Amino acid sequence: MDRWRTIIEPFRIHSVEPIRLTTVEQRDAALEVAGYNLFNLHAADVLIDLLTDSGTGAMSRDQWAAIQHGDESYAGSPSWFAFLKGVQTLFPFRHVIPTHQGRAAEKILFSVLGGPGKVVPNNTHFDTTRANVEATGAEAVDLVIAEGRDPAALHPFKGNMDVAALERLLDERPADVPVVFVTVTNNSGGGQPVSLENLRAVRAVCDRHGVPLFLDACRFAENAWFIKLREPGQGDREIPDIVREMAGLADGMTMSAKKDGLANIGGWLALNDDALAEQCRNLLILTEGFPTYGGLAGRDLEAIAQGLREVVDEDYLRYRVASTEYLGEALDRAGVPLVKPFGGHAIYIDARALLPHIAPLEYPGQALAVALYREGGIRGCEIGTVMFGQQPDGTESPAAMDLVRLAIPRRTYTQSHIDYVIEVVIWVAERASGLRGMRIVEQPPALRHFTARFAAV
């Protein structure tokens, strides 16, 4: 293991999917039809799809085999019990409520806990989490540490919560905070991990104020790997053990199995509070389904149960984080401004720094994402003013950062695909001063990044 420096994919390919090369002219035409919104593209027109790491990973032989064991009984299926065991092995919460994906768990939880006058703190809310909080009339506040807002600041746990700011909020509005959330890893802040030390400190504040702590645990395994690598005293621990400690510090969690569940669909809400679980299950039945399948088929439950065994494997996590870092290091050497240190699931290009001639309200992230697709067929995702600039009152203001995320689907692309991405990004970055900003010509009242249409300024 220690003899060779190259960290290889710890798998070989068993089934292949074609990807299609297109020309710049074809992609220009596709962009026009899509209103310059990469969510509107046909995926078949994308060569390397780094839009998201959510539900886009490759399942293993053993997951496909598990799917054959899927039992589609409406109630009490063996697949449900396999899923329950898989979840509770890592997250020993009393109640596990399966949902079709993470945001369904958020919707249910905040429907019970949210409402006008309430405020939900998080290190950084993901867009759906924020939208689900705000949809109830509650307020979503981001309290990540100062380093977490500075793309260039180096800190081993840039996803940490600002504990003093949390304490202040709880002192000022003791009756208004129904739950404190910590997102691991902090996706909107660059895929940055949260330390055990920080989770313990947040737990202590929550205890003093009698407020429950929930994890948005989408990328829990990557977070645990960073804890093992970076946190003093954690290097010899097993990953499942670190995950259980993270879970033990919380009262509940929301989860998207499309990330560290290594599945294409699925999620859950888990918690200890009996009365709250009862209320959530009643809502689950209205929209997702009976509590032993939620929004999922028995086969999905099986795929997740197996995925949870594979995602905590150290060979997998070493490769996962090293391959993301490989992309980051190559772009960094070429001088492309990036969020550092590199996160686990994605590399984030600092579009505001790369395109200083484009004002935030002319969406430098969108301009860069469109250019990467136009030049190389690479689909990334703007995480900036398009995604977060729209305020609930209809006004617009610049987001804290304008980033383009290149999210790496799990176990899907090889090193040569990534070498191609590196070549294209560097080519575009070298010509960044020629890119123009964008304006929005059409947008919905919320979550506009999914459907807005754009034109060049």
Which positions touch ligand F0G (CB under 6 A)? Answer: 52, 54, 101-103, 126, 128-129, 183, 187, 216, 218, 256, 258, 267
Cα separation of 35 and 40, whole Å?
A: 8
Q: Which amino acid is at 39?
A: F
- What is the DSSP code string of 179-207? -EEEESSBGGGTSB---HHHHHHHHHHHH
User: What is the nearest approach in angstroms of ligand F0G to the Cβ of residue 4?
Assistant: 33
Q: Output the CA angle 74-79-85, nearest 5 degrees.
A: 125
- Token pair 């949260």 in the structure block, residue: 194
User: What is the nearest approach in angstroms of ligand F0G to the Cβ of residue 368?
Assistant: 17
User: What is the nearest approach in angstroms of ligand F0G to the Cβ of residue 230?
Assistant: 20
Locate the DSSP E strands across 208-307.
213-216, 252-256, 267-271
**Cross-strand bridge partners of residue 440:** 454
Cα separation of 157 and 212, whole Å?
A: 22
Which C-beta is closer to ligand F0G: that of 249 or that of 358? 249
- Residue 214 backbone dihedrals phi, psi, to 5 degrees: -120, 145
Which C-beta is closer to ligand F0G: that of 129 or that of 292? 129
**Cross-strand bridge partners of residue 405:** 348, 381
Which C-beta is closer to ligand F0G: that of 29 or that of 446? 446
- H/E stretch holding 367: helix 364-376
User: What is the nearest approach in angstroms of ligand F0G to the Cβ of residue 221?
Assistant: 14
Which C-beta is closer to ligand F0G: that of 266 or that of 337? 266
Locate the DSSP E strands across 193-257.
213-216, 252-256
User: What is the nearest approach in angstroms of ligand F0G to the Cβ of residue 26?
Assistant: 26
User: What is the nearest approach in angstroms of ligand F0G to the Cβ of residue 12?
Assistant: 27
Which C-beta is closer to ligand F0G: that of 7 or that of 141? 141
Cα separation of 226 and 242, whole Å?
A: 10
Which C-beta is closer to ligand F0G: that of 101 or that of 432? 101
- Looking at beta carbons, which residue is closest to ligand F0G? 102
